[in-house]
Structure 1
Amino acid sequence: MKKIIVPVDFSDHSNYALEAASILAKKYNAEILALHMLEISETILTKGEVDLQDETVFFIKLAEKRFNEFLEQDFLNNVSVTPIVKHFKVFSEVNDVAKEHNADLIVMGSHGSSGLKEIFVGSNTEKVVRHADIPVLVIKNKPSTLSFDNVVFASDFSQESVTPYINACQLFGKLGSKIHLLHVNTPGDNFKSSQEIEQTVVDFLNKADGDLNQLEHVKYVSDYTVEKGVLNYANVAGADAIAVATHGRTGFTHFLAGSISEDIANHAALPVITFKIK
């Protein structure tokens, strides 16, 4: 891990994300790219060209001053931080910056106690997740420590989850993580027999790994909902983080074959890291 992007809006939660990124940066000798998206109002954009240039420069300079003050924090001591200010609040630009700088990870802060609508739908975090081609780590609390020694990768082991799984293995391999592969069986229309689940996992691992070496490490649990199964297992396994696959076009709303992954991100005290289904 060499470069970590942290979108900053000066909120407490973006501060938590910045602190989390600093922990990772110190541990892996990585650089932080602190990114502020400067939103230019419609009023300014409708002005004449000269006025627009003058006022845009003024707001950029003001943002840069506030940005530099925000970055003067003790936890960033001895960390390489590059501030980047973008002129317009277009969240696909976060992914553009990631591509331009060959970044490995995006770290974002998000609320986690007031329900789905207040967390992801229409939020900056969801918008970034939808556009990001690289993993996004969602932080909801002030981090005292940050570790990825034990990570639960929850999956339905569908064929479209192969790429997120491969990307997760690559990232967590670099971090020296132990990955717990988890399938949650639920009652109702999504219920599968043990034989059906095992065959799905066999097909998945054959395609993803080319072998069945990880088969003995797959855990199967039954619960009333996927999110309860994931959270309960993560607690039992002493997990440091939960990893999920997500569709770019719909954000968190369709992972694990249509299950409600928002509840995982909402109720988990643990960091949640997303890997895009392509």
Structure 2
Amino acid sequence: MKSIIVPVDFSNQSEKALKVAASLAKEHKAELLVLHMLELSPSIMGESGYISQEQVVHLIKLGEKRFSDFLDKPYLKDVPVVPVIKHYKVFSEISEVAEKHKADLIVMGSHGADGLQEIFIGSNTERVVRTSDIPVLVIKGNEVDDFNPKNFVFACDFEKESIPALKRAKQMAELLGSKLHLVYINTPGDEFMSTNDAHKKISEFLNEAKVGMEVEIFNDYTVEKGVLNYSDNVSADLIGIPTHGRRGLSHFFMGSIGEDIANHSEAPVITFKI
């Protein structure tokens, strides 16, 4: 891991993400790109805007000063930090910064009434996940000083399109020194599979992926409950889910499933683009 991006908005949640990113940067001797997007719209920046250019410059300087103060943290000592300021809140720019600096990971703090709600739905995090080609690590409400996940759960539908996401999750687990737990959630209803059929599907998937790993079949009433309950059973420190990028969450996590997992999980969540 050579480069990590952390978008910050000076909130407590973004500082929690910054601490995790700093911990990872120290562990892997990586560069930390701390990105702040000023609350300036194109209309404000234009000549025909409703405030003067002098006021715009003043706002920019205030934002830069606050950003500088925010980065004056003891846990950033000995970490190579590159501050990046963008004048607009255009979340696709995060992907552009990632591509320019060949970043390996984006770390973001979650937001919501209690730090666990509405992470993806209409949020900044969702916008980043949908535009990012690299993994996005979402840090939840709990304070994390040293990010050192021991048990990493990766759940998917074991359709062939999820193979790239699994491979990236496996690489991430090896990088973090985590034990990777693969799980298939079997639910009642139209998607229910017999144990034999589920094993056959999983075996074909692993053969295609050329990955020799065990997969646990976990029965539950819904996929999201299954992922969360299984994660509790193995004391997961990290939960991985696949995404379709701009098309939103993958078929396995279509609708509210992925959102519910992210919203209700107490462990950090990391997404991998299919």
Fold shared per TM-score above 0.5 = yes
Structure 1 range deviating more: 4-13 or 137-146: 137-146
CA contact (8 A) 2:41 2:89 kept: no
Partner of 2:93: 93
Distance 1:82 1:55 in 2: 26
Distance 1:225 1:232 in 2: 10
Of 227, 232, 253, 1:230 maps to 227
1:117 CA drift (Å): 7.4
CA offset digits 1:175-214 (Å, max 9, x no partner):
22221110010011111111221121112111111x6x21
* Percent identical: 54
CA contact (8 A) 2:117 2:263 kept: no
CA contact (8 A) 1:3 1:32 kept: yes
Pair 1:207–1:256, CA change in 2 (3 A): farther
CA contact (8 A) 1:116 1:263 kept: no
The answer for unaligned runs of 5 or more in structure 2 is none
Pair 1:52–1:163, CA change in 2 (3 A): farther
Q: Which amino acid aligns with 1:237?
A: V
Q: Which amino acid aligns with 1:14?
A: S
Distance 1:79 1:43 in 2: 37
SS of alignment partner, residue 257 of structure 2 = coil
CA contact (8 A) 1:35 1:83 kept: yes
Partner of 1:198: 199
SS of alignment partner, residue 133 of structure 1 = coil
1:69 CA drift (Å): 0.3
Q: Which amino acid aligns with 1:248?
A: G
Q: Which amino acid aligns with 1:67?
A: F
Distance 2:179 2:112 in 1: 26
1:235 CA drift (Å): 1.5
Partner of 1:136: 136
Q: TM-score, normalised on structure 1?
A: 0.90
Partner of 1:171: 172
Correspondences of 1:143-182 after superposition (within 5 Å): 143-182=144-183
CA contact (8 A) 2:185 2:227 kept: yes
Structure 1 range deviating more: 185-194 or 166-175: 166-175
Distance 1:86 1:46 in 2: 15
1:17 CA drift (Å): 0.5
Partner of 1:270: 267
CA contact (8 A) 2:115 2:140 kept: no
Distance 2:20 2:116 in 1: 23
CA contact (8 A) 2:173 2:179 kept: yes
1:151 CA drift (Å): 0.5
Correspondences of 1:33-112 after superposition (within 5 Å): 33-41=33-41, 43-48=43-48, 54-111=54-111
CA contact (8 A) 1:7 1:36 kept: yes
Q: TM-score, normalised on structure 2?
A: 0.91
Distance 1:177 1:117 in 2: 27
Distance 2:55 2:111 in 1: 33
Distance 1:3 1:69 in 2: 22
Q: Which amino acid aligns with 2:132?
A: A
Pair 1:99–1:42, CA change in 2 (3 A): closer
Of 215, 227, 242, 1:245 maps to 242
CA contact (8 A) 1:253 1:260 kept: no
Partner of 1:127: 127
Distance 1:206 1:179 in 2: 18
Distance 2:159 2:139 in 1: 27
Pair 1:247–1:113, CA change in 2 (3 A): farther
CA contact (8 A) 1:151 1:178 kept: yes
Distance 1:137 1:115 in 2: 15
CA offset digits 1:133-175 (Å, max 9, x no partner):
0000000122143213321011110111111111112222222
1:54 CA drift (Å): 4.6
SS of alignment partner, residue 107 of structure 1 = strand
CA contact (8 A) 1:244 1:255 kept: no
Pair 1:112–1:271, CA change in 2 (3 A): farther
